[in-house]
Amino acid sequence: MHKKLDSLLAAAGLSLPDQQKQQLVAYVNMLHKWNKAYNLTSVRDPMQMLVRHIMDSIVVNKHLTGSRFIDVGTGPGLPGIPLAIVRPDSHFTLLDSLGKRVRFLRQVQHELGLTNVEPVQSRVEEFIPEPPFDGVISRAFASLQDMLSWCHHLPAKGQGRFYALKGVRPDDELDSLPDGVTLEEIVKLKVPELEGERHLVILKAN
């Protein structure tokens, strides 16, 4: 699995320290092991997890601004855990409403020694950020409208951003952004060996 990760990183033009690569592989191993009992992801093959979960998460790293992030609807920690591993100086709150996922995240935090993550079990609309976050990240929401409606209270006004990981460019969703939110950038992401398009939509909370 280490060789596969090395080849994927090289294809993406990324280089990581050995410790971070070991943590990423250990996370995939934990996800694979727990998945049999907890059904955390539909991806069953660890090699595919490297592509569809690890690489798909860390390619957004260079586009993030700030140091305090919340991963909303994180599920088994995606993209929050891989980003926390490759961005050790930033802090990630991992929010999910399902107890089994949060238990898994706490185990990952413990086994990988991640001091920069905080798993939280809560519905997003009931979670009170203190202080507000530099960035709100999600790859699970069905639409930008839902994400903005439920997460509007999470980013710092004037400087906080929403980072939505999407497949195809959601131009129809961008046509009806609410007041107080502006489109900053749409980044076309390149994920080695991943079929289909990937885009990162960056919105600013005014």
Q: Is 169 annotated as a binding residue?
A: no
The number of beta carbons lying within 10 Å of the beta carbon of residue 188 is 9
Please, what is the Cα angle at 128 between 141 and 161, to 5 degrees?
50
* CATH at 192: 3.40.50.150
Q: What is the mean pLDDT of residues 153-167?
A: 95
Q: Is 125 annotated as a binding residue?
A: yes
Strand-pairing partners, residue 183, are: 203
Predicted pLDDT at 141: 81
Q: Is 78 annotated as a binding residue?
A: yes
123 is a domain residue: yes
Secondary structure (3-state) at 107: helix
Total domain count, the chain: 1
Q: Is 72 annotated as a binding residue?
A: no
pLDDT category, 113, cuts 50, 70, 90? very high
Q: Is 139 annotated as a binding residue?
A: yes
CA–CA separation, 127 and 156 (whole Å): 15
Which residue segment(s) compose the domain that 96 sits in? 55-205
Predicted pLDDT at 140: 78
In the numeric block, the tokens 């992401």 are attached to: 189
CA–CA separation, 168 and 165 (whole Å): 10
Torsion angles phi and psi, residue 91, rounded to 5: -110, 140
